[in-house]
Chain A
Amino acid sequence: MYISGIGVVSDKTEKDISILKGIRRADDFSKMAILAAHNAFMDSGLKEETKVNLGVILSTAFGPHVTTFKFLDDILDYGDANVSPTLFSHSVHNAANSYISSNLGIFGPTLTLTDFSKSFYQALLVAQSWLEEKRCEHVLVGYVEQHGKEIDYILSNIAKEYFLKEGSVFFLVSAEKCLKEYCSINVLTYQNEFISGFSLAKSLLEPKNYVKEVK
């Protein structure tokens, strides 16, 4: 498959963008996801009409845990019967994907998956699977992660070392070559299951590192 668009959002990215208007309730996890997905699509130069059958795969290790803990705050502060439905709705892993499809007008297949160490690799496998199966012609594949004091506490007490980068990166991958082509990629033969979306994006966006095929 071919990578034809890239969108990266880090904690330093300016978030006050028109695409984020009208999603007042969305938490930062969802906002980062929408922005990166939107940027990847725009970067590809594909026509708006492609969104009707565009696939979206979002991967994450810990999901919107910041919101999950806020929801647990509600349970502890107000009791089982008095918690915020808005917080609950945003604490589920697939909320961000729901926002991507409703905000960007995408009606194709959408999936959210989770893995603690290889989630982006798993997402690429799913994307390749869909394209080979001809479920759709293009897929937005992305990874979203957040920092949070609770997760940092947990990881620092369990893992000898860990690396958790906050941000979101999305790639538009296509079955055929498109207007733009960063590289081709065959996930089945790709050796590194721990591939980081951020490193891949960095290697493709920096002109000196322009590669034709990712091994």
Chain B
Amino acid sequence: MNIAITGLGAISACGLNLKETITNFSLGIRQAREVTLFKTDLNYPVFEAKGFIPEDKKYMRTLSLAFCAIKEAIIEANLTDFSGIRLGICLGTTVASQLNDVDFYKEYRKNGSAPVDAAKRFLESNLAQAVKDYFHINTKFCCTLVNACSSGTDAIGLAISWLRNDYCDIAIAGGADELNRVPLDGFNSLGVVSNSLCTPFDRDRSGLNLGEGSGIVILEKEESALKRNRTLDLFFKGYGLAADGHHLTAPHPEGRGLERALDFAMHQSDIKVDEVAFINAHGTATRDNDKVEGRVFRKVFGENIKFVSTKGFTGHTLGAAGGLEAVFTCLGLRYGWIPKNVGFTHMDEQIGIAPVGVKTDIKGRYAISTSLAFGGNNSVLVIARN
């Protein structure tokens, strides 16, 4: 069964919508700055979605980002009326799942009590459930994944399963995460945050920059898309998912989980390595991730594989990353080019291959998006152009 992609939506520091994102990709513009969204002692460049105005303060920022991207995607999909549609909602996040309101806790610690508004908001912030309520969708296929940095990719993968198994006809899938003090502190403590703009895959890379955003795809069974007169240009072909089974914070040194996930996804897609036009990499710019990921690319795809990390434009958006990068992979196939891997200057000999250094034309029908999560989860999507 073919799974068509009929809508795309994205919001990040790179653009408040697809059009802005594509423009900034093309011009190689990076929009990072110091943290403005909350008070912090840390002085790192971050990728905030500048200019984004949440429509209603009653929603957690993560939810507002998701609503924004979903609205863009459902417009493209011509899906504003959900009645009579067997719909599924599958979304990934990290921040929205945790009660990490520092002010609430500070007060609770001090007084043994605190205004529970923050807590009430948290209990209304299960991402998929909130989307279901906000858009008035009726479905029991409503799942929030919290698989760290591969959550967005995994959400799309799960939605693909639902469609293939005929649990629903159309799905809204992807991820969202806001920039938040807690993960910023946490990643800093792990020593993986860079105090300059990140340089994925570069020999001298010194860590990641955090970002925020939401990336959403509308996927549907081909027959459903045809019935609704959609133009069919993009499809999901395969999804692979495998655990390193190695360590809580470090990837397996040989990337065994990534290789297994790639193997499964490509086998499911029935494509060969030389048919892959490009890879949108996870590419966080940490010493470990890029080394492992880059070496697996070289091993599996050879030295001529084109790949790019778009985290130079968006920062690491955690739960949103997989969703955003699926969207960017789709854009690459649709328009026939990928942006340069901003920040990259020198190849790392320990990796042995380099990402694209300039905006690059793409020929070929298939592309891959990879995600390597904190905790050792590895996820791969294979996307095809008609």
A76 within 8 A of B: yes
B102 touches A76 (CB 8 A): yes
B245 within 8 A of A: yes
Which residues from chain B contact A72 at a C-beta distance below 8 Å?
Answer: 100, 102, 105, 182
> B interface, by DSSP: helix, strand, loop or mixed?
mixed
A89 touches B248 (CB 8 A): yes
B97 touches A93 (CB 8 A): yes
A91 touches B116 (CB 8 A): no
0/1 per residue, B211-249, Cβ < 8 Å to A? 000000000000000000000000000000111111111
CA distance A165 to B146 in the complex (A): 21
A95 within 8 A of B: yes
0/1 per residue, A69-112, Cβ < 8 Å to B? 10111011001110111001111111101110110111111111
A76 touches B161 (CB 8 A): no
B243 touches A101 (CB 8 A): yes
Partner of B375, one of A94, A107, A109, A114: A94
CA distance A108 to B22 in the complex (A): 36
Partner of B116, one of A81, A83, A154, A193: A154
CA distance A125 to B161 in the complex (A): 11
Q: Which of B147-174 contact A (CB under 8 A)?
A: 147-148, 154, 158, 161-162, 164-165, 167
Partner of B41, one of A80, A93, A114, A125: A80
CA distance A69 to B40 in the complex (A): 18
Q: Which of A158-180 contact B (CB under 8 A)?
A: 158
Partner of B161, one of A62, A130, A154: A130
B144 touches A114 (CB 8 A): yes
CB proximity of B121 to chain A, nearest CB, Å:
11
Which residues from chain A contact B242 at a C-beta distance below 8 Å?
Answer: 107-109
CB proximity of A102 to chain B, nearest CB, Å:
5
Which residues from chain A contact B78 at a C-beta distance below 8 Å?
Answer: none
B185 touches A91 (CB 8 A): no
* Contact sample, A vs B, 22 pairs, CB 8 Å cutoff: A72-B105, A75-B102, A76-B106, A83-B186, A83-B188, A85-B191, A91-B98, A92-B98, A92-B375, A93-B148, A94-B146, A95-B375, A98-B248, A101-B244, A102-B243, A102-B245, A107-B257, A107-B260, A109-B241, A114-B126, A150-B105, A151-B99
Told that A73-B109, A97-B243 touch, could you supply 4 new A-B pairs with CB distance under 8 A?
Answer: A98-B247, A102-B244, A126-B143, A153-B108
Chain B residues at the A interface, C-beta cutoff of 8 Å: 40-42, 94, 97-100, 102, 105-106, 108-109, 113, 116, 119-120, 122-123, 126, 128-129, 140-148, 154, 158, 161-162, 164-165, 167, 181-182, 184-191, 241-249, 256-257, 260, 264, 373-377
